[in-house]
Amino acid sequence: MGKRSRQRQKTQNAGRDDRDNRDNAGWGAGYADIVKENKLFEHYYQELGLVPEGEFEEFMNAMREPLPATIRITGYKSHAKEILHCLKEKYFKDIQEVEIDGLKIEAPQPLKWYPDEQAWHTNMSRKIIRKSPLLEKFHQFLVSETESGNISRQEAVSMIPPLLLKIESHHKILDMCAAPGSKTAQLIEMLHSDIDVPFPEGFVIANDVDNKRCYLLVHQAKRLNSPCIMVVNHDATCIPTLKIDSDGKKDILFYDRILCDVPCSGDGTMRKNIDVWKKWTTSNSLHLHGLQLRIAVRGVEQLAVGGRMVYSTCSLNPIEDEAVIAALLEKSEGTLELVDGSADLPGLKSMPGVNSWKLMTKEGQWFSDWSEVPVSRQTQIRPTMFPPTNPEKLANFHLERCMRILPHHQNTGGFFVAVLVKKAPMPWNKRYPKVRQDVSSSAAAQTEGSPAASIPSGTPCPPDSAVEEGLGEKVVVVEEEEPKDSPLALETTDKLEREYGPPASKKKKLFGYKEDPFVFLTEEDPVFTTIQSFYNLSPTFPKVNVLTRTHDGKKRHLYMVSKELRNVLLNNSERMKVINTGVKVWSRNSDGEEFGCAFRLAQEGIYSLQPYIRSRIITVSVEDIKVLLTQENPYLSKLEADAHAQAKKLVMGSIVLKYIPNPNNTEDPQCPIQLCGWRGKTSIRAFVPRNERFHYLRMLGVEVFREKQGQGDKGPDGEKAVEGVEVKEEAGNGAEEKGEEKEVGKDAGHMDLENGDKIGTSEPMKEPMD
């Protein structure tokens, strides 16, 4: 197979597994060659009766329509209100009466059930956007703000599970199947709901089984610049039990909130993932049911008593939905309660869960009960796929409290969600203390690899900690891996092929790609000597939370994590594979040594770090920020008198540029702005990435827009800017990185530019890639 073909196949495989962050069909390219018909699908759902009587034709018509494009404003940032104001006043008003090729563009509307108008939907497609300069401006705005982390393009129903978790700033959160990361981003936002708290007590551990997808997850999480996120790489069915220090003792880490958004057949995504139309079959759900149940069981094991877990799929099939919840409730023996989350999202239309369903094979054979399944089918069809046979037990489960979102009710994708609350430890934790003692040594030896126990048919296969807890009716420790032809292995292989692309030709190593170590600094580390004095750090600054990624040589970058994440890292280095954590707060710059400090501030971590900095801060006005973001290297005299006077008192080196809103002047932004900068000999500059420059300039009323490629005079990157701001990239990123230290602190010429002049909006000093 040629290189291009392999790359195309890789791209298609990657696209299929992005459950909640694939481009909405309206934003991405179409699938004109795929016919949106699947008779088996129609027959199956008509027979199940999940759609209200008389609405099935409307349901199918909606499934064939492109999915509306939806955006979500990053909620935790103090700039959210300013972004919303900008959208309403600068873009949405102009879109209301637009008509292109006879199609009237609908004005964007807020999602009724999403709080504070922070999520919007529209019927615009990328093709339509590109036909109109007016809509193109809107598109450029979305792209720029998305890259800056201020806006996320995310399917509407994908936003539901994090809202139902009811996140608070002190919660310890686990996202079990996190990639590509849209829901993870929501969790981080909610954790940081109070912008005045730089280090919330809680944290998010985001996990994914696929190593490559973890790096996509890292990219998504990094946009939010949080010190409270950790990305790990484990099989969710065997995710290890972590330990933490608590008052000098080692305790098990139980999570306050768990998001269990499992791999699924994805028939609710047909509106955006057109490929599902031709590939859908009832076998998909049968293959995935066991995997989904094992992940859910592992989730509730790690949930704290009183904690809340949300189980969700983008499938409408009861085999993946109510059947998993019913089996989970039955195994829990009353320690779990299914709660009704519909009241938490007023305005969201959903159907209650069902109490009865049946199975159909891809050949069209139906089974209503396990007793009807022939022996030849009993490896594929399992008892947990059927509703409980005991009417009293079924009634006590209250499966009607589940929520199924149908596409035609609010013009969305299809989705299923269930909210579970843990009232007591799981029954197998108490039932087998002797078994737990017998296997503890073997379980400790088997970390995050293949399943460590053989369990009776129909019981989810436990990881190491589940063996310690005695999960199942009989636990037998085994040393070898699961046989390749076992139902577990076949199910896992099928899932990998469907959700993550073809399996690797060679056996994966336990820890995949090698990661740099996470090395925490001590309070006495020499690196703090100059940093402490240069920035006059507050005595409350948590030095022990600072880490680097190398044992040897000079420290290139310094990162920070929250106190609780430090606790997790220090106590579980041998148990988990950490892909990434922390937020960058300082970067080494050798030229800075002659000015007093070898480390300059990093924009990524400025909002976390600035509350502890008591010097090198210049308070700036709106006009000062405009100068700093639209002029390459302005003289100090370009600043207004107050900021100019402050800057003259400082020696050369890294600085904080801080804007404090004036509540009496409502024309200016009403949110604080903090930028990293450099005070040169006679000049001053802002070290802010290009898209963040665009973001702040828009907030200040300066229009930033890149024209379509191929029109007019173009810059080095093939783009031309209008209205006074040109997009310009410096040639050769590698050269920039190598020359980084030479450029800082030197006045490399000045560009006294007024409105209409060309302005370099690229970051003067590029950040090296981590």
Distances (CA, A) of 661 to 49, 78, 344, 667, 670: 56, 12, 34, 10, 5
Domain ranges of the chain: 427-510, 616-770
What's residue 50's pLDDT? 96
Q: Is pLDDT above 90 for 353?
A: yes
What's residue 126's pLDDT? 61
What's residue 2's pLDDT? 47
Q: Is pLDDT above 70 for 394?
A: yes
Q: pLDDT (tens digit, 9 = 90+) per residue, 641-675?
A: 999 999 999 999 999 999 999 888 888 888 889 99
Name the band, by pLDDT with cuts 50, 70 and 90, for residue 402.
Answer: very high
Q: At what angle do helices 487-500 and 3-17 cross, to 10 degrees?
A: 110
3-state secondary structure of 151: strand
180 annotated among ligand-binding-site residues:
yes
Q: pLDDT (tens digit, 9 = 90+) per residue, 44-95?
A: 999 999 999 999 999 999 999 988 889 999 866 667 888 888 888 888 877 7
Give per-residue burial for 147-174: e unless 16+ CB within 10 Å, then b. Answer: bbbbbbbbbbbbbbbbbbbebebebbbb
What's residue 613's pLDDT? 95
Angstrom distance (rounded) from CA 603 to CA 610:
10
Q: pLDDT (tens digit, 9 = 90+) per residue, 236-291?
A: 999 999 999 988 889 999 999 999 999 999 999 999 999 999 999 999 999 999 99
Average of pLDDT values for 393-400?
A: 95
Name the band, by pLDDT with cuts 50, 70 and 90, for residue 97.
Answer: low
Name the band, by pLDDT with cuts 50, 70 and 90, for residue 33.
Answer: low
Alpha-helical (H) ranges within 148-193 are 160-164, 182-191
Q: Are 399 and 338 in contact (CB under 8 A)?
A: yes
Q: Are 240 and 230 in contact (CB under 8 A)?
A: no
Q: Is the dihedral of CA 243, 248, 249, 253 positive or negative?
A: negative
Angstrom distance (rounded) from CA 69 to CA 86:
19
Name the band, by pLDDT with cuts 50, 70 and 90, for residue 592.
Answer: low
What's residue 698's pLDDT? 86
- Please give the positions annotated as active site: 314
208 annotated among ligand-binding-site residues:
yes
Residue entry with tokens 């400090």:
597
What's residue 93's pLDDT? 76
Q: Is pLDDT above 80 for 176?
A: yes
Q: Is pLDDT above 90 for 9?
A: no
Q: Are 324 and 292 in contact (CB under 8 A)?
A: yes
Q: Tell which residue, 499, 185, 450, has the closest CA to residue 320.
A: 499
Element (H, E) at 8: helix 3-17
Average of pLDDT values for 6-11?
A: 42
- 47 contact partners, CB below 8 Å, separation of at least 6: 358, 360, 366
Q: pLDDT (tens digit, 9 = 90+) per residue, 500-538?
A: 333 343 344 444 456 778 899 999 999 999 999 999 999
177 annotated among ligand-binding-site residues:
yes
Residue entry with tokens 């290890």:
240
What's residue 78's pLDDT? 66
261 annotated among ligand-binding-site residues:
yes
181 annotated among ligand-binding-site residues:
yes
* The two structure tokens encoding residue 220: 């998504």
- Residue 511's identity, in one-letter code, is F
Q: Are 463 and 448 in contact (CB under 8 A)?
A: yes
Q: pLDDT (tens digit, 9 = 90+) per residue, 690-726?
A: 888 988 998 888 877 655 444 443 333 333 333 445 4
For residue 246, the cross-strand partners are: 249
Q: Is pLDDT above 70 for 458?
A: no
235 annotated among ligand-binding-site residues:
yes
pTM of the model: 0.80
Burial of 509 (C-beta count, 10 Å sphere; 0-12/13-18/19+): exposed
Most confident of 136-140, 447-451, 489-493: 136-140
Q: Tell which residue, 402, 406, 415, has the closest CA to residue 314.
A: 415
183 annotated among ligand-binding-site residues:
yes
